[in-house]
Structure 1
Amino acid sequence: MTGPAPTRRSGRWIERWDPEDEAFWQATGERIARRNLWFSVLSEHIGFSVWTLWSVLVLFMGPEYGLTPADKFLLTSVVTLVGAVVRVPYTFAVAVFGGRNWTIISASLLLIPTVAAFVVMEPGTSYSTFLLVGLLAGIGGGNFASSMTNINAFFPLRKKGWALGLNAGGGNIGVPVIQLAALAIIGASGGPRVLLGIYIPLIVVAAVLAALFMDNLSSVKNDTGAAKDAARDAHTWIMSLLYIGTFGSFIGYSFAFGQVLTNGFGRTPLQAAYLTFIGPLLGSLIRPLGGWLADRYGGARITLWNYVGMAAATAVLIVASMQKSLPLFVSVFVVLFVLSGLGNGSTFKMIPGIFQAKALAKGLEGEAAVAHGRRLSGASMGLIGAVGALGGVGINMAFRQSFLSYGSGTGAFVAFLVYYGVCFAVTWAVYLRRTAARVPAATAASEAKSQLSYAEV
C-alpha cells in the first residue's frame, strides 16, 4: 500500500506531514525523516563541540595566563549557563523560521564564538575578555533544543525514543570529539588556535549541508499557548528536575572532569586529556540505547534504576576521592558518565509519553490525542532542556566551592549523591508508585490506569 506523498511549497517547506499514518510513513515519511535526522545530528554535534570548547581551552591555559582553578571553574560555569538559557528561545525558533532554516542560522552563528576565541586566545588577555568570549560560546548549547524540537516533529511516537536518543547522542559526541582533537594537538605541541582553526571550516560545512538537504515542516507552528500550558504543567518541572540529574551531570562532568584531574590528582594537561574524553564518548554512544530501552520497557523504569546506579557510582567516587586513588576514580567516573548518558535517553523519551498519556486521560483519541501530546511535548522539551543544562552550572559551581573549601572535589560528590537520591524518590513517587490500594474502590480502576500509563512512558 502506498501512502500519499507529502505536499510541498517553495523553500523546502513540507505542507502535509503525518508520521502516525503507517502508509505515509512507509512510503515517503521515514526516508525524509531520517535524512533530516542525520544532518540535524551533524549541526548539533558541532554546536556541542563549540559549547564545550572552553572545557578544553582551559587545559591549554598554563601559569602564564594567570588564572586560578577557581577562575577556570567560573569560566566554564558561565559558558554552561548561557547554553542553558538560550535553549528556551532556540526551542521556539524552529516554529518561527522552520527547522531547516533555523539549523542554517544556528550553525552559522557558531562562527562568532569560534572566531572570537581564535583572536583572544593568548597570554596577557584579561580575564574579563575570556569571560565575555566564553559567554559567546554558550550559544552552542542552544542547538540541542532546536534540534530536538525539530526532530520530535518528524517521527511517530513509537519511534521517538530511538530518534531523539540518536539525535541527542550524536550531538553529545561533540564533547569527546573536541577533547580528542585537543589531545592530539597538545600531544603534537600545538596551540589552541590550531584547534579553533579546525572547527571554523567545519561550521561552514554543517550550515551548507543543512541548506542542501534538510526540510521545514509547516505543521510546526509557533504556539505561545503551548509554551504557557507546558510551563503550567507540573510534569514539565518534575521532568526538569530529573533531567538536571542526567543531562546536567553529563554536561557538568564534561566541563569539569579535566580540571578535577589536574587540580585534585596533580595530572598535567596532557595526562588529563588522555582520560577526559573516554567518559563523554561512552556516555554519548549509549544515549540512543537509553531511548531504545525506554521504548521497550518504559522510560520511568529505566530512569529509576539508572538513578540507583548513579548514586552507587557517586558513593564509590567519594571513597576514591578521599583515598586519592586515581585508577578507581577514573574508572568509576567513566561508569557515571555512561549512566548519565543512558538516563539522558530514558528521561527524554518520557516527555512525549507523559503528554500523550495526559491527552488520553482527557478523553482525546486518535489524531486529536497525538496532536495534543505533540504540541505540549515539543514546547516542554525546550524548558526541560534549559533547566536540565543548568545542572551543569551547578556541578561546576559545586566543584569550585568544594576546591575552595576543602581542596578536593569530595564535598561536591556528597551533594551529587543526595541529589540522585531525591531523583530516585521523585521518579518512583510520581511515575511508578501504585495507588490502587489507598483509594476508594470506585476510583481505584481509573487511578491504576493512570499510573500504569505513566509507568509506560
Structure 2
Amino acid sequence: MTDTTSTAPPHLAPTAVETAPALATRPGRWIDNWNPEDHVQWEGEGRAIARRNLRWSIFAEFLGFVVWQLWSIVVVSLPAAGFAFDTGQVFWLISIPALVGATLRIPYTFMVPRFGGRNWTIVSAALLLIPAVGLGIVVSNPATPFPVMLAIAALAGFGGGNFASSMANITFFYPQREKGWALGLNAAGGNLGASVAQFVVPIVITVGAAATLNLPLAGWIWIPFILLAMFGAYRYMDNLGSAKADVAASLAALKEPHLWILSVLYIGTFGSFIGFAGVFPKLIADQFPDFSTPFAVGSASISLAFMGALVGSLARPYGGKLSDRFGGATITIFSFAVMALGALAVIWTLPVGNFWLFLVLFLVLFTASGVGNGSTYRMIPTVFALKAGAADAHNTAGDISSQRKAAAALGIISAIGAYGGFAIPQLLGLSKTTFGEYTTGLGWFVWAYAGMLVLTAIVYVFGARRAGTRI
C-alpha cells in the first residue's frame, strides 16, 4: 500500500520544488528569494523591481563619474585663476583621481554583498560630498600648495570606486540573457557623467565672470544632486539577500587566468575611454588653443571636449546589446581594430593642424572604446558561466556560486581596467615632456590595441570555437 500511494505524489512533488519561492521582504528594504532566471518571477514583479533599482543606480553612478572627472576640466582653467603648475604637475592632477578610483574599486566590489546594494549606494553617494566640497575650497585660493591640491584631487577617486559596486549590484538583478543591455545602460549612465561634467563646468565657472573665473562652483554645483541621489537610493532601491559575498569564489577568481586576460582587455577599452576623457580637454588646449572654448553664450564659454565622453558613453550599451546578439569577443575585436586605426589616423593627420579632423577622429576613437567597454564587460559573466560548466554560457548564468564569482570578477576587472585612466594621461604627459609632442604616446597605444586584438581572437574566438561554444 505504501508503494502504491507514494508513486503519484512524489512524481508531482519535484515540479513544485523546482518553482522558485515567492519573493519575501524584510525591514530595511531587503528582498529574499530573488532569482531573475525564474521566468515567472521575472515577468511577474522581478523586472519592475530591477528597473527601479537600475534607474537610481545609474543616477548615483553618473554623479560618481562627474566628481571623478572634475579635475580633468578644472586643470585647464587653473592658469587663468592664478595657479602656476608645470606640465608634470598638471598631468598628475588629471591622473591621480583615476589611480585612487581604480584602487578603491577593489574594496567597493565587496561592499554590496557586505552591506547591501541600496545601503552601499547611500554611503558611496555621501562620500562624493567630500571631494566636491574640497575642490570648491582649494581652487578658491591660488596660493594653495600643490600637495594640498593633489590630495583633494585624489579624493575625487571616490567617484571612480562607485562603478565597481554599482555594476556588481546590478548584475545580481538581471538574468544572464539581459545582462549585456542592463550592465551597458548602467555603465553608460555613469560614463555620461564625464561628458556632462566637461560640458557643464566650463559654462558654470564662466557665467557672470568678468576678469576672474568662478572656479569653486565646479565643486559646489553638484552637492544638491548628490543629496538627491542619497535620498533616491534610500527611498527606492533594494538590498538582495542572495547577493552574498563568496570569499572562496572570489579568491578562486583571482587564480583564474581568464580574470587577468579580461583585465588586460578592459584596460584597452575602458582604460582608454576614461584616460582619453580625462586628458582630452588638455590635448585640445595644447594642440588647438583657439578651440579650447570656441563658443560663447553671453559670458559663458562652451568647450567641445565633452563630445568625446558623450559618444563613448552612448556607444557603451550598444556594445553590450551587440554582444548579446553576436558574442562579446567578436565585437571586442572589431572595437580594437577601429581604435588602432583611429589612433593611427590621429598621428598621421595631427601635423595638418585641422581641429575638426582631429575632433572627428578622436570621436571615432571614443565611440569604438565605448562599444568595446560594453562588449568586454559582457564577456565576463559568459566566461565564468562557461568555466562553471553551463551548457549555454552565453544565455545561462549558471548556479548562484557561479554568479557570485562573476560578480566579484566584474568588480576586480573594472578596478584593473580603470588603471588605464591613470596610465594614459601619464604616458601622454611623458611623451609631451620627453619628445615635445603627443604622437609618440599615441603610437604606443596603436601597438597595444593591435596586441589586444590578437589576444582576444586567439583566446576567445578561436579558443571558444574549438570548445564548440561562443563567447
**Is TM (by shorter chain) over 0.5?**
yes
| TM-score, with structure 2 as normaliser | 0.90
| 1:264 to partner: Cα distance | 2.5
1:431 aligns with 2:454: no
Per mean C-alpha deviation after superposition, the further-off stretch among 198-207 and 58-67 is 58-67
| 1:265 to partner: Cα distance | 2.7
- Verify the 8 A CA contact 2:275 2:421 in the aligned structure 1: yes
The 2-side partners of 1:448 and 1:265 are apart by 47
Provide closer, same or farther for how the CA distance between residues 268 and 131 of structure 1 changes in structure 2, counting only shifts above 3 A: farther
Report what 2:5 is aligned to.
none
Report what 1:177 is aligned to.
196
Which secondary structure does the structure 1 equivalent of 2:167 belong to?
helix
Per mean C-alpha deviation after superposition, the further-off stretch among 262-271 and 151-160 is 262-271
- Verify the 8 A CA contact 1:314 1:417 in the aligned structure 2: yes
Report what 1:440 is aligned to.
none
Q: Which string of whole-angstrom CA distances, capped at 9 and with x for unpartnered residues, describes residues 324-354 of structure 1?
A: 3322111100110111111101000000011
Match of 1:293 among 322, 327, 332: 322
The 2-side partners of 1:186 and 1:28 are apart by 45
1:129 aligns with 2:129: no
Per mean C-alpha deviation after superposition, the further-off stretch among 195-204 and 246-255 is 195-204
- Verify the 8 A CA contact 2:176 2:397 in the aligned structure 1: no
How large is the Cα RMSD of the aligned pairs?
Answer: 2.0
The 2-side partners of 1:47 and 1:275 are apart by 21
| 1:69 to partner: Cα distance | 2.5
Provide closer, same or farther for how the CA distance between residues 274 and 282 of structure 1 changes in structure 2, counting only shifts above 3 A: same
Report what 1:318 is aligned to.
347
Report what 2:411 is aligned to.
382
Report what 2:89 is aligned to.
71
1:396 aligns with 2:425: yes
Looking at secondary structure, tell me which structure has more helix per residue: 1
Match of 1:196 among 204, 216, 219: 219
- Verify the 8 A CA contact 2:192 2:313 in the aligned structure 1: yes
- Verify the 8 A CA contact 1:287 1:345 in the aligned structure 2: yes
The 2-side partners of 1:14 and 1:192 are apart by 44
Counterpart amino acid of 1:406?
Answer: F
The 1-side partners of 2:279 and 2:399 are apart by 40
Report what 1:444 is aligned to.
none
Match of 1:9 among 20, 26, 31: 26
Which secondary structure does the structure 2 equivalent of 1:35 belong to?
helix
- Verify the 8 A CA contact 2:293 2:304 in the aligned structure 1: no
Provide closer, same or farther for how the CA distance between residues 103 and 368 of structure 1 changes in structure 2, counting only shifts above 3 A: closer
- Verify the 8 A CA contact 1:307 1:423 in the aligned structure 2: yes
Report what 1:241 is aligned to.
264
Structure with greater Cα Rg: 2
Match of 2:130 among 101, 104, 112: 112
| Unpaired segments ≥5 residues, structure 2 | 1-18, 296-301
| 1:305 to partner: Cα distance | 1.1
Aligned ranges for residues 22-61 of structure 1 at < 5 Å? 22-61=39-78
Report what 1:329 is aligned to.
358
| 1:319 to partner: Cα distance | 1.1
Per mean C-alpha deviation after superposition, the further-off stretch among 392-401 and 259-268 is 259-268
The 1-side partners of 2:58 and 2:271 are apart by 20
Report what 1:275 is aligned to.
304
Which secondary structure does the structure 2 equivalent of 1:275 belong to?
coil
The 2-side partners of 1:120 and 1:270 are apart by 24
| 1:4 to partner: Cα distance | 5.7
Report what 2:337 is aligned to.
308
Q: Which string of whole-angstrom CA distances, capped at 9 and with x for unpartnered residues, describes residues 410-448 of structure 1?
A: 1110011011001101000101115xxxxxxxxxxxx85
Counterpart amino acid of 2:337?
Answer: V
1:141 aligns with 2:160: yes
The 2-side partners of 1:404 and 1:363 are apart by 51
| 1:203 to partner: Cα distance | 0.5
Report what 2:442 is aligned to.
413
Match of 1:87 among 85, 105, 109: 105
| 1:356 to partner: Cα distance | 0.9
Report what 1:152 is aligned to.
171
The 1-side partners of 2:327 and 2:399 are apart by 18
| 1:56 to partner: Cα distance | 1.2
The 1-side partners of 2:428 and 2:392 are apart by 48
Counterpart amino acid of 1:257?
Answer: F
Match of 1:166 among 179, 185, 193: 185
Per mean C-alpha deviation after superposition, the further-off stretch among 125-134 and 2-11 is 2-11
- Verify the 8 A CA contact 2:253 2:259 in the aligned structure 1: yes
| 1:322 to partner: Cα distance | 3.3
The 2-side partners of 1:285 and 1:267 are apart by 28
Match of 2:121 among 103, 109, 130: 103
Report what 1:437 is aligned to.
none
Counterpart amino acid of 1:142?
Answer: G
| TM-score, with structure 1 as normaliser | 0.92
The 1-side partners of 2:305 and 2:292 are apart by 10
Which secondary structure does the structure 2 equivalent of 1:14 belong to?
strand
Which secondary structure does the structure 2 equivalent of 1:402 belong to?
helix
The 2-side partners of 1:407 and 1:18 are apart by 56
The 1-side partners of 2:329 and 2:465 are apart by 16
Provide closer, same or farther for how the CA distance between residues 410 and 36 of structure 1 changes in structure 2, counting only shifts above 3 A: same
| Unpaired segments ≥5 residues, structure 1 | 435-446
| 1:367 to partner: Cα distance | 8.9
The 2-side partners of 1:413 and 1:388 are apart by 18
| 1:361 to partner: Cα distance | 6.4
- Verify the 8 A CA contact 1:47 1:174 in the aligned structure 2: yes
Provide closer, same or farther for how the CA distance between residues 367 and 116 of structure 1 changes in structure 2, counting only shifts above 3 A: same
| 1:269 to partner: Cα distance | 4.5
The 1-side partners of 2:220 and 2:147 are apart by 23
